[in-house]
Structure 1
Amino acid sequence: MEYVIRRGRANHVQLCALIFTSSYFPTPPCGLQFQDKDWSVDIPVPIPTGPTGLRKHVAPKVSSVIPVEHRRAKSTEFSNEGRPYLKVLHLADLHYDPSYREGSSTKCGAPICCQAQSGSPMTGEAGAGRWGDYGPCDSPEILVRNMLEDIRRRHSDIDYIIYTGDSVAHDLWKLSREKNTKVINKVGELLKEYFPYTPIVGALGNHESFPRDSFPPPEDATVNRKFSNLWLYNLMADQWQSFLPNVNISTEARISGSYSVLIQPGFRIISLNTNFCYKFNWWIMYKNNDPGNVLRWLVRELQKAEDKGEYVHIIAHIAPLYADCYEQWRYQFSRIVSRFSGTIRGQFYGHSHMTEVLLNYDVNDPKRPVGVQYLTPSNTPYHRLNPSYTLFYVDGSHPDSTRAVLDSNTYFLNLTAANAHDDVTWHLLYSARRDLSLRTLEAPDWHDLVRRMDKDPELTRKFHAFAVKMSDVLKDECDKSCRRVIVCNMVESDRFLPRKCKNSR
């Protein structure tokens, strides 16, 4: 911190803007944005198309990461009108806590409780539940194993898994490289124990680093010598490679924690280290012009994918349009999505711990929605939430495939019932298309949902209940102000574009 303050250019106003415009303050107390000198990422112009406006490419014959697409019988769970589809498990924010202790205090005064060191509950107070707790408490191993077993038993036809990071618990005052390494490896072992033959594509969470949230720019040689995250990038790259033994993930994984992998012919996943845009990564006060050069790298990968006729899904921990990502970086990402909206067919993130959907709009035509960012809710109960997992359905391999996201189902465990009656049943929380009355999951249909929610308070309350995973302490807490925040955040997360909500900042 001292190094950043002494050598960085950021001033007290910028520091205020970083802290008080994060997700911790949904309504910022100051009308500030974190900005330094204007900067932009070079984005190549599209190659002119023919008379039809379409560009045809033939993808080269390459081996597939997915050994065999599952042959699926008729199912009431999902149908793609007889065409193949991919069933994708998204795990996010597992926050495995090896120190979790049933019966310990849930009100210990620390950022995380329910641990052996949290002490005993006060007289009349309940202790930490066996399966997790609504207090500031992370995931006990018994909960993690039960969730993975439920997924394995009920969804044996998963084609691949995306895991968008945050394996480490919230006890940040006890972190070390050694402890983080041990937990990261433990989570990797659990995933491979339950899904030994299923490809897993991972992304890097902000809790994995030590110190937490610290992602110095590796392109600065002096900083890299003193504060390098090389140990973390090598650790994660080794784990990601073990998840995908049949391919070589790109070398960028060991440089900046990002990588690209071809899942099937014509279908690529890019794992992006968005922790470089995190407002609590103090290194952005030292260098905020594309730290890590990850946006420049992303543009190159997308251009190569476009040239080869590949469709792309992007996964990361922090969604670029989320309030925790600083505004200039957000806008540059919006520019990239606007340019490559025909190539980017899905975006999947975590970090929020709740269900959120944020829409990208064309920077040249701000009324036109061009992308959807799915913030998948957390596997951990932290904080006041039920644990959950989410399945996405993606257009599969066939001649007219778009690799579009077709639907999603989220499952949850009610902690009250689990702890009171040992009723460990994972229920379907909602299906996006059915329960939100969406024609498709394309950006214009989500935009239409926002219009409907703006006019229908009950629909917005329903969305909020899904967002907090039917938490017994949060599901009914959404007043007019809460509903307004939900609607406005979905459509105007890019603060550089014109506001879409009346009387909003």
Structure 2
Amino acid sequence: MLKKFLHKTPVYAVLGNHDTNPEAIDAPHSLPDDLGMQMSWNFDHVAGLWQEEGWLNSTAANQARLHYGAYSVKTPQGLRVITFNTDFWYRSNYLNLIDTINPDKSGMFAWMIEELQRAEDAGERVWILGHVLSGWDGTNPMPNPTDLFYQIIDRYSPHVIANVFFGHTHEDFAYVYYANNGTNQSAGNALNTAWVGPSITPLTNVNSAFRSYEVDTGDWNIYEAYTFYSDVESFSSLNTTGPTFQFEYNTRDTYGPSINWPAESPLNATFWHLVSEQIEKNTTLASTFNTYQGKSSVKSPNCTNIACAKAKACYMRSGSVALGSQCPQGYGSVQSPFKPAS
């Protein structure tokens, strides 16, 4: 479908927990005998498909076969895109329970570091693409791998890594990575942003949505972000046509005025940290953020009290399990009623 409608537009696909069988299960090559290669059929298959569609060349496709579906490519415009398989930190991949002390059983991060070092040496800018997020409320991934990833982001941000992108939640939000593992969470220490994109697939109590970005191809920072949504409540009447997407919000226009953000400055980690400070004390802004997290669904729970606002702000500063688990729990997802921990 993407090929049909996007034609020759490049697509940089990322494997997620629903892209394996059994679901979420990926085996590191470090497992003994043939166990470490038991999912190679999947990586061979998707790499072949990506190459056939013209999205990857043979070199990148071979890289994807070797590195669990991950690859590193330089776009025609000069941006380097590095994808990686987040099943190796996802809690539902029970093979991650083997040797939990080792944060990189798969070798995924060793490979990522090599690619980032090459990018640094070449003066390249990088976007990192994954599926399962590294942080927020700390409920999705395993602790040790996300700690290692946080250190990688710290080492190569912001001079190499321009932005990080995740999906998985079917919700819409962003969070910040800071220097020194987030031990001092301030605007001055904000290094990078993880954009957790809304999904076309609605899931529970949220609408369907997608986002487009305006990017400067000199620094590869994001300067505008536009989100569009489709109301799931209307889907039952769509007998002969597909859903219609309408404009939902502009990130700069929604949050910029609350922090007096300069019109010419990018929507970077400093921007999002300052927004988190306002959300922490402004329940109206927190409610707006929460509404957009659910893609304007009428079934998402409301965030109108200071406890919810503080929790959201804390999640926005949590790029790892260690940080997210220290936040007030129970407000992370808008797909069910909030259940604050007592």
Could you tell me the TM-score, scaled by structure 2's length?
0.83
Aligned to 2:184: 366
> 2:251 matched to 1:432?
yes
How far residue 358 of structure 1 moved from its aligned partner, in angstroms, is 1.5
Q: Say yes or no: does 1:232 pair with 2:42.
A: yes
Letter in 2 for 1:242: E
Give the gaps of 5 or more residues in structure 2: 330-339
Structure 1 residue 198: Cα displacement: 0.9
Tell me the CA shift for residue 420 of structure 1. 5.0
For 1:32, the equivalent position in structure 2 comes to: none
- Change in CA separation of 1:475 and 1:501 when aligned onto 2, cut-off 3 Å: closer
Distance 1:243 1:475 in 2: 41
Residue aligning to 2:54:
244
8 Å Cα contact 2:173/2:195 also seen in 1: yes
Matched, 1:203 2:14: yes
Contact 2:79 2:126 (C-alpha < 8 Å) held by counterparts? yes
* Gap change, CA 1:502 and 1:389, over 3 Å in 2: closer
Deviation at 1:390, TM superposition (A): 1.1
Q: Provide the C-alpha distance between the structure 1 equivalents of 2:200 and 2:306, rounded to a whole number of angstroms.
A: 28
Of the three residues 381, 384, 402, the one matched with 2:219 is: 402
8 Å contact 2:69–2:85 — kept in the other structure? yes
Secondary structure of the 1:352 match is coil
Question: Does residue 1:315 correspond to 2:135, yes or no?
Answer: no
Distance change >3 Å, CA 465–CA 207, structure 1 → 2: same
Structure 2 Cα separation of the partners of residues 286 and 357 of structure 1? 31
- Count of aligned positions: 311
The equivalent of 2:320 in structure 1 is: 494
Measure, in 1, the Cα distance between the counterparts of 2:97 and 2:69: 20
- Please list the CA deviations of residues 255-290 of structure 1 after superposition, one character each: whole Å capped at 9, or x if unmatched: 222111111353100011111000111111113321
Corresponding position: 1:328 with 2:144? yes
- Is this contact kept in 2: 1:313–1:345, CA < 8 A? yes
Q: 1:499 to 1:379 in 2, by over 3 A?
A: closer
Shift of 1:361: 1.0
Question: What secondary structure, in the 3-state scheme, does the structure 1 residue paired with 2:107 have?
Answer: helix
Match of 1:377 in 2: 198
- Preserved contact between residue 26 and residue 88 of structure 2 (Cα < 8 Å): yes
Deviation at 1:495, TM superposition (A): 4.8
Q: Does 1:451 align with 2:277?
A: yes
Q: Equivalent residue for 1:352?
A: 169
Deviations 1:84-120 (A, max 9, x none): xxxxxxxxxxxxxxxxxxxxxxxxxxxxxxxxxxxxx
Structure 1 CA distance, aligned partners of 2:235 and 2:323? 45
Give the structure 1 partner of residue 214 of structure 2: 393
8 Å CA contact 2:141–2:321 kept in 1: the answer is no
Whether 1:269 and 2:85 are equivalent positions in the alignment is no
- Give the 3 Å change call, closer, same or farther, for CA 292–268 of structure 1 in structure 2: same
Deviation at 1:484, TM superposition (A): 3.0
1:106-121 equivalent positions in 2, closer than 5 A: none
* CA gap 1:498/1:376 in 2 versus in 1, 3 angstroms: closer
Secondary structure of 1:222's aligned partner = coil
8 Å contact 1:206–1:212 — kept in the other structure? yes
Describe the shift of the 1:319–1:245 C-alpha distance in structure 2 as closer, same or farther (beyond 3 A): closer
| Deviation at residue 479 of structure 1 after TM alignment | 4.5
